[in-house]
């Protein structure tokens, strides 16, 4: 096996600069339950022991500490939340929508208190990256429609795009403004140290876009453009996440300035790896591509290793690829498959 000549951060930065790293970087996303299974399988006591054992080029996420108003059972937006156990994993789900009762911008403006960046303490950000100089750092960013859907209720949120566009614009403006100021304050705590900012929105379903391209252009891209420009002005690259079949909107997201496209659900129509590489390789770095709907949970170790080889050969041809699961690994995925993915990536990924 060749000898590593780069740190994880150097490896990421080389790929993002269009340069050749010593090997393809590997990232990790997993649920707490999946992490526990893999740790047990490897005999590791901490996630970071697991990352090092699997040669994962893990990204260090930094977040401010929430010090604002608290109400038991509710999040900072006033959404009532509870943990729901789905058998192989538990997720925090929103069970009430505080803005569902309002019919106009005027009502919301009068009766609802928006969270403030002053509800956070940013002084501990620098401490979160201490001892992690060898690793890339992700901080700041936005994903406002996800929050809006919790505030209004998911069905109402989608209906609002047609029936109440002024409410959508008003609320998204508020949420983008909060994300913008939050990101500015994170950058100020560790100048030049943030490598990636997460500017996301789930535009795709399993087989097609969830929104029309015109809706995306009208409601989302202007605010995302401001977040993208902020990241670039501060030396950070933009990590764009959107699940599903989003082929139709990728050119416009690249034009807006995204640097990384995640998660590459290549079984969805239009997301075939060869076509993405042909049309967008060299314009954006691909992140993900390891299928965790079929291959990782239900495939064999040999299936997993074969998919790693395919991803490296197609998405990684000529560079511009970071190997990772195409969303959080779930506990249904055998630990042997997870280990096989990273073992194959480390074996085959040398450049």
Q: pLDDT tens-digit profile of 119-136?
A: 999 999 999 999 999 999
Contact 206, 246 (CB under 8 A): no
Backbone phi, psi, residue 153, to 5°: 95, 135
Which two three-digit tokens encode residue 12? 């990421």
Q: Does residue 114 lie within any of the structural domains?
A: no
Instruction: Determine the structural domain holding residue 288 and report its residue range.
Output: 8-63+122-143+180-348
Give a yes or no: residue 100 inside a domain: no
Beta carbons of 98 and 79 less than 8 angstroms apart: yes
pLDDT in tens, 248-275: 999 999 999 999 999 999 999 999 999 9
Contact call for residues 162 and 212 (beta carbons, < 8 A): no
pLDDT band at 245 (very low <50, low <70, confident <90, very high): very high
Q: Is residue 19 part of a domain?
A: yes
Residue 157 lies in a domain: no
Residue 326 and residue 291 in contact, taking contact as beta carbons nearer than 8 Å: yes
With beta carbons less than 8 A apart as the criterion, state whether 121 and 64 touch: yes
Mean pLDDT of the chain, nearest integer: 97
| Pair 144, 176: CB distance under 8 Å | yes
Q: Is the pLDDT of residue 89 over 90?
A: no
The answer, yes or no, to whether residue 88 has pLDDT greater than 90, is no
* Residue count of the chain: 351
pLDDT tens digit sequence for 25-56: 999 999 999 999 999 999 999 999 999 999 99
**pLDDT (tens digit, 9 = 90+) per residue, 144-202?**
999 999 999 999 999 999 999 999 999 999 999 999 999 999 999 999 999 999 999 99
Number of domains in the chain: 1
Q: Does residue 216 sit within a domain?
A: yes
Instruction: Specify the pLDDT at position 277.
Output: 98
How far, in whole angstroms, is CA 247 from its chain's centroid?
18
311-317 mean pLDDT: 98
The residues, any chain, with a CB within 8 Å of residue 186's CB and separated by 6 or more, are: 62, 64, 122, 125, 139, 140, 194
* pTM of the entire predicted model: 0.97
Residue 46 lies inside a defined structural domain of this protein: yes
CATH, residue 264: 3.20.20.210
């Amino acid at each position: 096996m060749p000898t590593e000549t780069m740190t994880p951060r150097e490896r990421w930065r080389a790929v993002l600069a269009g340069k050749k790293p010593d090997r393809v970087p590997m990232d990790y996303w997993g649920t707490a339950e999946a992490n526990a299974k893999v740790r047990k399988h490897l005999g590791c006591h901490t996630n970071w022991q697991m990352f090092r054992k699997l040669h994962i080029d893990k990204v260090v996420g930094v977040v401010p500490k929430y010090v604002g108003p608290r109400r038991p059972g509710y999040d900072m937006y006033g959404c009532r939340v509870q943990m729901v156990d789905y058998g192989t994993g538990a997720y925090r789900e929103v069970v009430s929508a505080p803005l569902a009762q309002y019919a106009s911008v005027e009502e919301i403006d009068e009766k609802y208190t928006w969270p403030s960046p002053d509800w956070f303490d940013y002084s501990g950000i620098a401490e979160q990256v201490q001892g992690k100089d060898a690793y890339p750092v992700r901080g700041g960013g936005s994903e406002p429609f996800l929050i809006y859907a919790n505030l209004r209720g998911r069905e109402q949120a989608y209906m609002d795009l047609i029936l109440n566009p002024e409410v959508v614009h008003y609320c998204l403006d508020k949420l983008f403004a909060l994300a913008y100021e939050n990101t500015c304050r994170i950058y100020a705590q560790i100048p030049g140290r943030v490598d990636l900012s997460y500017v996301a929105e789930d535009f795709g379903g399993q087989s097609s876009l969830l929104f029309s391209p015109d809706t995306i252009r009208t409601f989302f891209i202007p605010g995302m453009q401001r977040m993208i420009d902020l990241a670039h002005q501060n030396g950070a690259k933009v990590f764009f996440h959107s699940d599903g079949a989003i082929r139709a909107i990728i050119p416009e997201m690249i034009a807006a300035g995204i640097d990384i496209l995640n998660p590459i659900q290549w079984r969805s129509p239009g997301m075939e790896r060869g076509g993405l590489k042909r049309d967008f390789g060299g314009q954006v770095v691909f992140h993900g591509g390891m299928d965790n709907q079929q291959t990782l949970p239900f495939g064999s170790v040999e299936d997993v290793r074969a998919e790693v080889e395919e991803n490296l050969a197609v998405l990684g041809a000529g560079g511009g690829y970071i190997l990772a699961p195409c969303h959080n690994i779930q506990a249904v995925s055998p630990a042997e498959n997870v280990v096989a993915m990273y073992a194959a990536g480390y074996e085959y990924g040398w450049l």
